[in-house]
Amino acid sequence: MLIAGNWKMFKGPDATGEFCRALREQELPAGVDVAVCPPYVSLAVAVRELAGTEIAVCAQNVHWEAEGAFTGEISAPMLRELGVYGAIVGHSERRQYFGETDETVARRVTAALEAGLWVIACVGETEAEREAGETDAVLRRQVSVLEAHEQLVVAYEPVWAIGTGKTATPELAQGAHETIKELLDVPVLYGGSVKPDNAAELLGQPAVDGALVGGASLEVASLAAICRAAA
């Protein structure tokens, strides 16, 4: 069971240091892997403060080239040098706001895995796609560009449930996870308004292998409560 906190564009270095020191003091349950995904500017602090713990530090994105004229991008070798463990790739906000496509997601995933990073690759349908009955087709298209790898995890994040307070029912989540696992033999996390009060029910579904947590991962007590629910 993996619980990964995606902090998005929150917590600079000072706030990250404070958070990580407090997280170290938590009694997190055995058998639950925990990762935090700070913004780029806060990765070094997180790596330093969480050194010697089992808590992984991951980036929120990674480029497909090792170096080059790609202003504003960060490569997998750079993240490895920093001590970062993995990266999120293809989050719906990257697709929605920054032109990420299935093809660029595949390129980023491949580069990250080849560099030795773990990858959380995100897939999921919009509300319009769900209402049109296209969830299955969307998931099949997005997953088709990925290949199973021992360091790859997929996160199912229904776009309509991200930051909206809406959450897929446990049954909907189970069905989507089953579809993904039919296509790809990797662990699948659920992402979409996961909170301490709904985590146990969602994580109790047989095909759900953990959670990619957004807003609820920004408070230490909240993240720790979700980890306990996962146990």
Tens-place pLDDT, residues 73-118: 999 999 999 999 999 999 999 999 999 999 999 999 999 999 999 9
pLDDT at 193: 86
- CA atoms in the 13 A half-sphere facing the CB of 165: 0
- Looking at residue 88, its pLDDT comes to 98
How does residue 125 score in pLDDT terms, banded at 50, 70 and 90? Answer: very high
| Residues involved in catalysis | 91, 157
Question: Count of CB atoms within 10 A of residue 12's CB?
Answer: 13
* Predicted local distance difference test score (pLDDT) of residue 192: 86
pLDDT the model gives residue 224: 98
25-63 per-position pLDDT tens digit: 999 999 999 999 999 999 999 999 999 999 999 999 999
Task: Tell me what pLDDT residue 165 has.
Answer: 74
Go through the domains of the chain in sequence order and give each one's CATH number: 2-230 (3.20.20.70)
Give the pLDDT confidence of 127-161 residue by residue, as tens digits.
Answer: 889 889 999 999 999 999 999 999 999 999 998 87
Q: Which of 181, 142, 182 is nearest to 158 (CA)?
A: 142
Residue from 30, 98, 29 nearest 60 by CA: 98
pLDDT bin (cut points 50, 70, 90) of residue 189 is very high
For residue 153, the model assigns a pLDDT of 98
